[in-house]
Amino acid sequence: MPSCSLIFSLLFFVLQTATSLQDEGGMVNIVAFGEARCSDTSYWMKWHWLPMWRMLGSTGRINFEYHPFGIKTTCVDAEDSDDVVCDCHHGAKECVLNQLQNCVIEALPNFEQYMEIVTCIQGKSNITVAADACFNEPTLDRHKMVECAESRHGRKLFSSQEEHAAKLAPDMDWVPWILINGKRYKQAEDDLWQFLCDRFIFPRPIHCPKKIVY
Ligand SMILES: *[C@@H]1O[C@H](CO)[C@@H](O)[C@H](O)[C@H]1NC(C)=O
């Protein structure tokens, strides 16, 4: 009869292997979709994304990608020209703000550079307010960014996000829609820092909160 201890050691071995496969020291890839005038998206960026980044950014373990494109958003080719016409969840002002965020992301492809500005634009009432508040730094030319947001190019950048949404988030029915290593997690909306620490970053960095919840 195979001894219990043999079975237990096998089980222990399997568990130990599974744990070590938790990608020690690996990168965590976060992808988020959101709408510029959606208050849940704004709240998440200001109170979850940014604080998490300030705590965990220095670990070098976070990769991030933001897609300013949400639900109830459609873009169709214009009938008489090489342009697109978009309809946004929170109206025309949201489309322009989403376009502005897309233009910033195009100008500064590295999320470490674009995310502070994209977060600043998030939730603003219109493009003038956003430009006044968010382009004071010399990093980006305000005039160029506003021009981009209101141009055919800005609309095309925005509408091209539809393909990313179809590919990365085909089930999206809510924003912010947050994917971690390719899978959507609702917990990442409410408790990003703790959730990443408990479930995704091994070994646990000292920047993490202590209590294990997830
Ligand atoms: C933008 O919003 C601000 C503050 O809400 C308002 O004063 C201004 O008139 C608006 N501008 C446009 C172009 O709608």
Tell me the domain boundaries of the chain: 26-199
For the chain, what is the total number of helices (H) and then of strands (E)? 10, 6
Residue among 37, 97, 121, 128 whose CB has most ligand 1 atoms within 8 A, to mutate:
128
Q: Quick check: 199 pLDDT over 80?
A: yes
Q: Which residue has the higher pLDDT, 161 or 2?
A: 161
Q: Regarding the domain delimited by 26-199, which CATH topology (the fold level of the hierarchy) does it fall under?
A: Glutaredoxin (3.40.30)
- pLDDT tier, 139 (very low <50, low <70, confident <90, very high otherwise): confident
In the chain, what percentage of residues exceed pLDDT 90?
77
Residue 135's CB is within 10 A of a number of other CB atoms, namely: 21
Q: Closest ligand 1 atom, CA of 127?
A: 1
Q: Quick check: 59 pLDDT over 90?
A: yes
Q: Which residues line ligand 1 (CB under 6 A)?
A: 125-126, 128-129
Alpha helices per DSSP H over the chain = 4-20, 39-44, 50-56, 92-107, 111-121, 127-134, 142-149, 152-168, 187-190, 192-199
* Predicted model pTM: 0.88
